Each structure stands twice: as structure tokens, then as C-alpha cells.
Structure 1
Amino acid sequence: MTATTSGSDTGRLTTALDPTLQRMLLEPRWERAAPWRAELDRITRVDLAHVVMLAERGIVRREAAAALLAAVTDLRRRNFGPIEGRPAPRGLYLAYEGYLIETLGEEVGGLLHTGRSRNDLNATCLRIGLREPLAELVLRLIRLELVLLNRGRRYGESVMPAHTHFQPAVPITYGHYLVGQAGALAREVEALLSAGDGLASCPLGAGAVGGTSIPIDASRTAELLGFAAPVPNSVDAVAARDLVLRILAAAATLGVLLSRVATDLLLWSTEEFGLLRLPDDLVGSSSMMPQKRNPFVLEHVRGKASAALGAFVAAATAMRGEPYTNSISVGTEATGHVWDALSESTEATTILVKVLSGTTVNASAMERRANDGMTAATAIAEEMVRRGVPFRRAHHEVGLAVRLVLDGAAGSLGEVLADRGHFEAPEDVPDDAARVCAAADYGGGPGPRSRAWAVTQARRSATAHRARLNTWTASWRDADERLARAVAEITGTSPV
């Protein structure tokens, strides 16, 4: 047989890494679409709404507004090509405004900044820019919620040991564990959605910090840009970036959860545990050791999940001690950390969705470990309590029985406890992990009724989260359509 040198067949592994994860984790990150284009996309969207409002209020002539709107729309259609390479000694916005003045003349191009500052413009663009990455993260998290619930139902009776202090503790099921993670994840999604509610207020109209004497209509621009209302106070509008801190705080807490789940999956997929097995397209090989199957994607989860925590610390550090007004430290340096934090959190979530969806469960090994670890010991003590033995005495008696079995002085817990008169026969002792799980229907245990209730609650949360996300995205789409119609009405063109 001819040896293969294909990167997808290492001998030990027969398939390549999942294509999505390969692009995400292994391929070089060549420069993507220039960030300045994304910034100009947000700026010009705000400009379209601002000019429409100025024309509707009679602050600028409709003919001048139409020329401005047509020029801005043309720039957007040309992907801002005419701006590329222009000198920007005072920033991108003024380079862009300078182009409009050169093209349209000062009498028209110079109208764009009427009743506005870069301060309220930047604060507004930040909120618009956060919409898509935050919505994408929430969408991926909802998918993770559903994967956890679906796999939780599938493995609802796959008995395994729960661990405390890295030692086998009591019997649960793998499905029970996954549904527990879904419950925790629901709270993290709720926190992100609550933080994202801050995106509904529009800073535009606040000017540099003290509003403007020009009779603008801040509610109209807010409506055209997909906001619910303007920020009522001009100082708060340009000074505050607590929205970023709340998003980062929620993402950082989410990262703690994702990292803990990844740690469990890493441990359980080791040869020593042997409870889970990741498919070949979710593991890597070693360049030197032919036998290796490395679940390295889970290590990426742990690393990526920490990005938001670092971003929160950096952002909060940049903000603290600054005056409560417009500030580069607050508005630029602090907020710059949020983009990578959201991107890394989204990628960590994407990896976990694939891992949990593709992992094979070794149900027999799980149940064997639950029984070999004598995880039924607590349930045995509780049965003795029902028979009239005080719990602390029952605890001692079962502990003694465990020690005798481990020392080889007895064959089973039932044998010891029957000999000591607590049960009529060894077979009366509830020492089977599956039997214990089925009976644990109280206190949120893995029993069938308890588990079904937890699944129902978690599924309701996921449904509610999807509804809130849909409300967000629908309002943004509706605003885009309103803005297009308003621009078309003034320019006399068809809405795009």
C-alpha cells in the first residue's frame, strides 16, 4: 500500500478538520475588508438620515439635500472607492466630508455637518456598528441552547457520575448535565439581550456635548436609523459608553461558562475517562506522534472565551478616572476592545455547537464509572433515613461500608449493610446508579419528571430569546426601508 501524504489522512485520522473551523482556527487571517469601509458605511447611513431630517425640517433646501443624498448614495454604491487613499490628517470623517465639498462645492457639501458634531456622530455609529456582531453572537448562542436541549433529551437516560472536587459524587445522566448547561446559558443570553437593549437609544442630536440651537428633529433621525428614541440628555449621549461595558461584562461572564463546559468535555474525552469521543473532523493529529487525537478545538474555546474578560478590564481601565464628557480614552480607546471580544465569543460558541452536535457518547463507560465510583452511596444513606436511621449515623455506616469494599474486606455495599442489620438482604440496597437517577425526581435531580420540567423551562427561554432577537433585527430592517424611501422621495429616485 502506498503511504499517503494528504493532510486529510494522517493514518490515525481519516478526515480533515471541519471546513468552518479550519478557516476559523488554522488558515492565516489575511487582511479582510478594510475597517475604514465599515466605518464609512455607518457614517454615511447616519448622514443619509441626518440630511433627510434637515430637508424635512426646512433647515436646508431640498435641492441641496437631494444633491447631498445623491452624492452619498453614489459613494456607498461605489464602495467608497473615491475616498480610498485620500489624505486624512484630521481623521476619516473630515477626509470624506472634504471629498463632498470638493465634489459639490461648499454651499452644498458644507451643509452636511449642520447641527451635528463628530462626538454625537461617533456615539451613534458605535451603536449601529454593535448591532450585527451582538445579534450574531446571540443567534449562535440560541443555536447552542437548542443543541444542548436536543442532545439533553437524547441522552436523558445515559447514566454517568457527577463529579465534585474531580471525584465521582452522585449519579446523574449526560442529558441532565446538558440541560443544566442550557439553563446556565439562558441566563447569559438574557444578560446579553438586556445589555443590547441599550442599543435602542440614539445619541444623534447631542452635538459636541450641549445639543444645538438649530431646530433639528432628533426623534426623526432616530426613527430613520432604527432606534426607539433619542437619548434625552446631551451630556449623557456623548459621554456614556456604559453600554460597551455592559456588553463586555455579559460576554465575559458568558466566557466563564463556555470555558468551564469546554474543560469538562476535554476531560471526558481523554483516554483516561473515555466517556466522550469527538469525530475526526473536530480533532487534530500530532506532527510527530502518530497515535494522537488532539481535541484542540476545545482549547480554542477556552482561549477565545477569555477575550471578553480581557476586553472588559481594558475598557473599564481606560474609562475610569476620565471626566464625564466626550473623551478619546472613553469613546475610542475603550470601545476599540469590544469588536474582538464579540468576534471571539461568537467563534467559541460556534465551536461548541459543532463539538456538542458531533460528539459520540460512550454510554456503557459512563454507567460503569458511575457504579464503580459507588456514586449511589448518598442514595443508600437516604434510604436508611427513610427507615428511621438519623442521617449522620447513616452517613457513617455507608462510609464504613465503602471503606470495607475498597479495602477488599467485603464484596459490596449491600453485603456490609445487610450484615450490619440495616437491610434484610444485599439486593435490597439501592446501589444501582440507573435506579438512583430514576428516583431523583426532587430538587432538580435527573429523574424523568424533573428533567422534563427543566427541558420545558429551558426551551421556553430559547423561544423567548429568539423572539427578542427577531424584534431587534426586524426593527433594523424596517428602518433601512424607511430611510431608503425617505431618500428616494427627496432625490426623486426609486428606493433601492
Structure 2
Amino acid sequence: MSAPTNASPQAQDTSVFPDPVYARTVLAPLFDAARTSHVAGFRAIDAAHCVMLAETGILTRNEAAAIARALAEIAREIDPARLVYTGEVEDYFFLVERALKDRVGPDLGGRLHTARSRNDIDHTLFKLALKERIDAILARSHALLAALIETAARERDTIVVAYTHGQPAQPSTFGHYLAAMIEVALRDVARLEEARAIVDLCPMGAAAITTSGFPIDRARVAALLGFSAPLRNSYSCIAAVDYQTATFSALELLFLHLGRPIQDFQTWSSFEVGQLYVPNALVQVSSIMPQKRNPVPIEHLRHLASQVVGRARAMRDVMHNTPFTDMNDSEGETQEMGYQAFAVAERALDLLAALVAQVRIDPARVAQNVARSCITITELADTLVRREGLSFRQAHEIAAATARAVVAAGGTLVADGHAPFAAAFREAIGREPGLTAADFAVAVSAEHFVATRDRYGGPAPAAMDEALAAYRDARDGLATRIAERRAREAAASAERERAFAALIEER
């Protein structure tokens, strides 16, 4: 038995960082994530920071030039794709710093890190990566909106059965249904753009927590990196991860909402309903049942949408009850999980846009379903109020009696409804109705049902044309904003490259 000692654990500790298990389970995955997802961001940040240090006089032009030339050499000579984590350095940041010191010496190489920290670097990296991914989603959302609007215009007058509580309710048009999708998608895009505006504020210059005693120019670094402005409060730069929660909340809502019509498409394309026809190019056949037409892209869309919702929600859940400070909970590995949500989202938006552009409505099945479900009966009640002077409750009871009689007889409203209607009217009102058989047939037709609903937001042609014009304006506005952001950030990238190249050429 060894003798007890009064020495502290620290005095006895002869271990060397990193512990092999820690290196394998934490440091190596983080290193791989950095070299695959953030190399361009690291290089942009180094270049912008180096330019700023020279412009503010924190580094001399000669010092900054030597660093810039070394950074350019590192970019040419080190292939991130071939790097393997060895534990010799803690992470990718320190690997680049070591390579820099090898080229210009430890004193000068260490000066690049003046007035910055891995804290502000990390959150800037994540924001650069998120902006790129949000922009990809916005571009694909624009393509989806274009497909939805084009299809809605094409199918403006195409009758469909609209459902409530899973049962046939009223006739509408496929264009009107898609218009509802468009409006929700536009609101979701607005939420995503609002989140992007939060992401578009630069943390650089916050350093560890409180900025720096050096005369740094935060606005210059933000501009060189393509951000709209610096994020003001330095503590917020490294502690407030609302840019992440806002982004993934917006992404989650987009796909939660898209999942609902995707489920409708699944039901509408079923054999029993059959009002939505999916073309052969998007249909798989059974390996054993030759009669089967399986519109499996809809199934894939449903589970892809659910994957995005689940991953985006997980991002928000990881942030729950974490301290309001710089913490690993919101950083490297968590960000990689979030990037997976974006990758799936891009696939789903591409597939949904292709599906929406190609599906068609089967008018024969719609007509059959309209006829056997009596879904135009509401317009009969409305017509009785307008033409016969009845209260809606009286008209509703007559219409209900008519529908019950037609269903019991296995008939249809247009062909078989006038006689039971006249009988119900006489019994309820005590006189003959003014509606002739021809008037009745018009009143209960699906086309008349839609045409009379020409109020703002309704399915009638004039209302739909007004709505489609508004949707096109909103789509074009999105395209303009996407182009403006691209132009601003391309200009920032060009200015950063120009200023950095000027340093490299400095002699």
C-alpha cells in the first residue's frame, strides 16, 4: 500500500494533452468538420483581419505583407482534403497558425492573432457557412414558388374536391389550392430572410468577450467579409446564438408547412381518390404486381420534409438551457448537424418543384367524386336565399333534405336532385319553388359553385388573376433581393481579394 501524500493533484499530474480518447472522440471529428466545411471561411477571415491590421497600423505594411504571402503559400501548398488529424495541434486553426509560424517565424506568425480570438472567429465561420446555406434555400424556394405559380396559373380553372376533416367538403380549383401553398411559402421565405438578416451581422472584433484594447476597425472587417454590418454588443457576438435558433426555426417552419400539402398529394393520388395524376417519370412500379403505379417521390418528399423538421428542431433543442456565454453546445459538432438539415432541405425543394410542375388533375375522377359526394349543395342553399328570399337556416334544411334523398337513391344532384328538392321545398315552405330543373342543375354544378365565389381570395377567375399577379410580384421581389445580396457579397469578396493581393505585392 502506497504512502499517503499531501501533494495536490496538479503537482502530481504528468499527463500530456491531448488524451488519446479525447483526441479520437472530440478533437478529430472537430478537425475533420473544420477542414471540410470552413476552410474558405478561415482563409477569408485571415485575409480580412490581416488587411485591417495593416490599415489601422496595428501591423506595419511590411509585417502584414509577410504574413499575407505566407498565408497565400499555405493555401497553395496544404490540401485540406488530404489532412489527417494527428493530435500534434489542437485543431485546424492551430494547424494553420503553426504553418504560418514555420514560414515567418513564431513572433511575426503570432501577430496575425492580435485583437481576435477563436470565439469571434468561430461564430463568424458559422455565420458565413449559414449565409451560404440560407441563400441556397432561398434560391430553391424561389424556384419552387415559380413552379407553384406557373402551375396555379395553368390550373386556375381546374376543378378539384376540397376536403375538411378528411371528407369531401366543397369544389374548388387546383389553382386556388396551390395559391394557398404559395402564400404560406411566401411567409416562410420572409421568416427565412429575417433570420438571414440576423446572421448577416459580423462578430469579428469581439475577440474573447469584450473587444480589444487595439484600435481595430470592426466595420472594415465586416465589410471585407460581406456582412451588412458588425454585430454591436461584443458579449452578444459570442454568447447570443439567436442567429442559429432564428435560422433553424425558420427552416423548420418552412418544411413543417410544406409537409401538409405533401400529405394531401399522397391522399389525392391514392387509387380511391385519384384526383391527382402523377406522370410516369415520377412513378415506380412494383417488383411483383405489374398493375401498380407507386408515386413514391411523394413519399420521399414526406420523409425528407420530416427529416428537415427533426434536424432543425434538434438544433434548437441543443441550445435549450445552455449558459448565456461562449459554449461548445452551439459550435462545431452542433453546426455540422445543422448543415445536414440544409443538405436534405435542398434535395426536398428540388424534388417538390419538379413534382409540382408535372402533376395533373384527373377531371373524370374529380367529376365522379363531386357527383357522389354532393359537395355543391352549399350553393343550392345560397341560391335559395338569393332567389327565393328564404333565411339561410330554411335553405340549409331544404338543401340537406335534398342531399339525403339523392345519396339514399344512389343518384347525383345534377341528374336526380330536382324532384327531391322540389318536394323538400314544398314541405318546408308550402309552395312550389321558382327554380326550374335547368336552374337547379346550374346551381348545383361545380363550375357555377366556383364562378360565384369571386370575392377577394376566392377561387373564381378574376380573384385568382389578382392573386397570381400579387404572387408574381412577391416572387420577383425575392429574386431581386437575392441578386442584390449576391452582388454586395461578390463586391466584398473582390475588395478583400484586391486588398489582400496588394499586401502580397508589398515590397
TM-score, length basis structure 1: 0.88
**Residue aligning to 2:419:** 415
**Residue aligning to 2:449:** 436
- Paired residues for 1:23-422 under 5 Å: 36-78=35-77, 80-81=79-80, 84-85=83-84, 87-88=86-87, 89-386=89-386, 387-408=388-409, 412-419=416-423, 420=425, 421-422=432-433
> What is the distance in 1 between the residues matched to 2:232 and 2:289?
63
Shift of 1:333: 4.8
8 Å contact 2:157–2:173 — kept in the other structure?
Answer: yes
SS where residue 407 of structure 1 aligns? helix
**Residue aligning to 2:12:** none
> What is the distance in 1 between the residues matched to 2:78 and 2:140?
29
> What is the distance in 1 between the residues matched to 2:407 and 2:148?
36
8 Å contact 1:282–1:295 — kept in the other structure?
Answer: yes
TM-superposition CA deviations, 1:35-81 (whole Å, max 9, x none): 61431221111000000100111111222211221222233345635
> What is the distance in 2 between the residues matched to 1:365 and 1:443?
29
> What is the distance in 1 between the residues matched to 2:274 and 2:316?
42
| Identical aligned residues as a percent | 30
> What is the distance in 1 between the residues matched to 2:184 and 2:410?
43
TM-superposition CA deviations, 1:371-404 (whole Å, max 9, x none): 3322211111111111321112211111111011
Greater alpha carbon shift after TM alignment, 306-315 vs 149-158? 306-315
Sort the Cα spacing of 1:52 and 1:424 in 2 relative to 1 into closer, same or farther, 3 A: closer
TM-superposition CA deviations, 1:127-181 (whole Å, max 9, x none): 1111221111111111111111111111111111111112111111111111221
> What is the distance in 1 between the residues matched to 2:81 and 2:469?
55
Shift of 1:274: 2.0
TM-superposition CA deviations, 1:89-109 (whole Å, max 9, x none): 422211221121122211222
8 Å contact 2:238–2:325 — kept in the other structure?
Answer: yes
> What is the distance in 2 between the residues matched to 1:404 and 1:414?
11
> What is the distance in 1 between the residues matched to 2:307 and 2:478?
24
> What is the distance in 2 between the residues matched to 1:86 and 1:443?
62
8 Å contact 1:316–1:334 — kept in the other structure?
Answer: no
**Residue aligning to 1:451:** 464
**Residue aligning to 1:477:** 490
**Residue aligning to 2:435:** 424
Shift of 1:418: 2.6
8 Å contact 1:83–1:96 — kept in the other structure?
Answer: no
Greater alpha carbon shift after TM alignment, 88-97 vs 452-461? 88-97
Structure 2: tracts of 5 or more residues without a match: 1-31, 426-431
TM-superposition CA deviations, 1:250-274 (whole Å, max 9, x none): 1111112211121111122222222
Shift of 1:314: 2.2
> What is the distance in 1 between the residues matched to 2:304 and 2:34?
21
Sort the Cα spacing of 1:74 and 1:338 in 2 relative to 1 into closer, same or farther, 3 A: same
8 Å contact 1:158–1:367 — kept in the other structure?
Answer: no
Amino acid at match of 1:126: F
Greater alpha carbon shift after TM alignment, 191-200 vs 73-82? 73-82
Amino acid at match of 1:359: V
SS where residue 38 of structure 2 aligns? helix
Sort the Cα spacing of 1:86 and 1:446 in 2 relative to 1 into closer, same or farther, 3 A: closer
8 Å contact 2:282–2:295 — kept in the other structure?
Answer: yes
> What is the distance in 1 between the residues matched to 2:280 and 2:410?
45
Q: How many residues align?
A: 461
Tell me the C-alpha RMSD between the 2 structures. 2.0
Sort the Cα spacing of 1:81 and 1:248 in 2 relative to 1 into closer, same or farther, 3 A: closer
| Equivalent residue in structure 1 for 2:473, among 442, 460, 480 | 460
SS where residue 110 of structure 1 aligns? helix
TM-superposition CA deviations, 1:277-307 (whole Å, max 9, x none): 2223222223333332222221121112123
8 Å contact 1:258–1:305 — kept in the other structure?
Answer: yes
Q: Which runs of at least 4 in structure 1 moved beyond 4 Å after TM superposition?
A: none
Shift of 1:443: 4.7
Structure 1: tracts of 5 or more residues without a match: 1-32
Sort the Cα spacing of 1:409 and 1:222 in 2 relative to 1 into closer, same or farther, 3 A: closer
Sort the Cα spacing of 1:275 and 1:153 in 2 relative to 1 into closer, same or farther, 3 A: same
8 Å contact 1:398–1:413 — kept in the other structure?
Answer: no
Sort the Cα spacing of 1:44 and 1:424 in 2 relative to 1 into closer, same or farther, 3 A: closer
> Quick check: which has more Rg, 1 or 2?
2
> What is the distance in 2 between the residues matched to 1:184 and 1:86?
46
Shift of 1:409: 8.3
8 Å contact 2:142–2:478 — kept in the other structure?
Answer: yes
Amino acid at match of 1:103: R
8 Å contact 1:286–1:293 — kept in the other structure?
Answer: yes
> What is the distance in 1 between the residues matched to 2:93 and 2:410?
82
Higher helix share: 2
Shift of 1:86: 5.4
SS where residue 170 of structure 1 aligns? strand
